[in-house]
Homo-oligomer: A and B are copies of this chain.
Amino acid sequence: MTRWRMVIVGIVTVALSRTLVAFPDAAADKAALLKVDEAFSADAQRLGVAEAFLQYAAPDARMLPQGKDVVSGRDAVRRQMAGFPAKATLAWKPFHADVAGSGDLGYTLGTYELRTTDETDKPKVSYGKYCSVWKKQSDGKWKWVVDVGTSSPEPKGN
């Protein structure tokens, strides 16, 4: 190979690799983030809601709870989740995810079921939907930076 050919091959190789870095597989990124959110819900059943929320929280995580002020930072998340009823369970399932081209920021949307008991210890189910914003941390793991949910009517067919 002549020197010129080597230079041209080098330039093409660099250009291709930069393009691949700049445009990662968007579908794979979305599928991966959906899986993280699903694992988060599974861990909430296994470890408890409060512990799972902490394990998946970024250091600068913020919650926007209904009727309360913004909850900002892991310590505040711990205090907020300490108020979660011991006997209650919260399970959710994302129905949509999107991830930035750079693969470092994304969000999931999903629906949740909150199972509690009323004053007479009778089981009670509440429904809702949520948005979680996720940021990839320096160790490559997705952690949530925003958690916000709102109540929904009981799904049709239930």
| Residues in A lying within 8 Å of B, measured CB to CB | 7, 10-11, 14-15, 18, 21-22, 62, 64-70, 96, 98-102, 104-107, 109, 129-131, 133, 135, 145-146, 148-153
Contact = CB atoms under 8 A, between A and B. Distances in A.
B148 A67 contact: no
Contacts of A135: 98
Contacts of A107: 105, 107, 133, 146
A150 B66 contact: yes
12 contacts: A7-B7, A11-B11, A18-B18, A62-B96, A64-B129, A64-B131, A67-B153, A68-B152, A69-B129, A69-B152, A69-B153, A131-B133
Nearest to A63: B150
A145 B133 CA distance: 12
Contacts of A99: 105
Contact of A64 (B21, B101, B109): B109
